[in-house]
Amino acid sequence: MTSAVDRLLADESGRLPRADARRNAERLVKAARIAVAEVGVGVSAHEIARRAGVGVGTFYRRIPSLQALLGTVLDEILVEILDLADRALDDPDPWNGLRVFAVAYVRLRAESCGVGEALGGAGGDALTVRLASLRDRIRRLVERAQSAGVMRADLAWQDVPFLFAAAATGERTLDLQADDQQWERNLGVILDGLRPV
């Protein structure tokens, strides 16, 4: 797969960018990924440039647009999630595959504002194909576990993404502060609830 940097630097001429241009683009992609995790998809070009240690002018010389950068970064993250789902589908144990995927998926949701927003549709039409592919893989993971008798059969596969999203809770509720492992405990209860009675 072509890297995020290569996709952003691609032009019609086929010329390779100068080494310093590539380094700046790499810094911007890395900074954008961190900023999306911490701030979400509402992060500004100025904030990304500041985090990358470049001027905003360099940002716009190296990157087609803020939307292109954010779309590319979110697409790259969704591809990583799809790879996790594919590995889970390859696991000979359907429950273990679903469980391992759930842990990785919910961890990403809990640790990245932008991932949660993208999975909720904030990435717009650019992510439609990736989201459809992810829905298909989650459906297959659920149906596979149900067919093996290791997951409750009375749940629709569509319930599972909502349950996983619920595990990645916010930082506060009822004036209580969640700790770093709150999502793991939430997910453990959810996974227990998915098992047959």
Superfamily of domain 4-68: Tetracycline Repressor, domain 2 (1.10.357.10)
Round to whole Å and give the CA distance between 121 and 62. Answer: 27
Residue 14 has pLDDT above 60, yes or no: no
Domain ranges of the chain: 4-68, 75-194
| Residues with Cβ within 8 Å of residue 22, at least 6 apart in sequence | 5, 9
Residue 77 neighbours by CB distance under 10 Å: 23
Q: Residue 100 CB: number of other CB atoms within 10 A?
A: 15
pLDDT at position 16: 57
Task: Compare 190 and 109 and report the one with higher pLDDT.
Answer: 190
Using the predicted structure, report yes or no on whether residue 180 has a pLDDT greater than 60: yes
Instruction: Please give the pLDDT value at position 17.
Output: 58
**Would you identify the CATH topology of the domain 75-194?**
Tetracycline Repressor; domain 2 (1.10.357)
Residue 11 has pLDDT above 70, yes or no: no
Q: Cα(194)–Cα(78) distance, rounded to whole angstroms? A: 25
Question: How far is Cα 126 from Cα 107, in angstroms, rounded to an integer?
Answer: 23
The pLDDT tens digits for 35-88 are 988 888 888 999 999 999 988 988 888 788 888 888 888 888 888 899 999 999
pLDDT of residue 48: 92
CATH fold match for the domains 4-68 and 75-194:
yes
Q: 3-state class of 173 per DSSP?
A: strand
Encoding tokens for residue 120? 């909720």
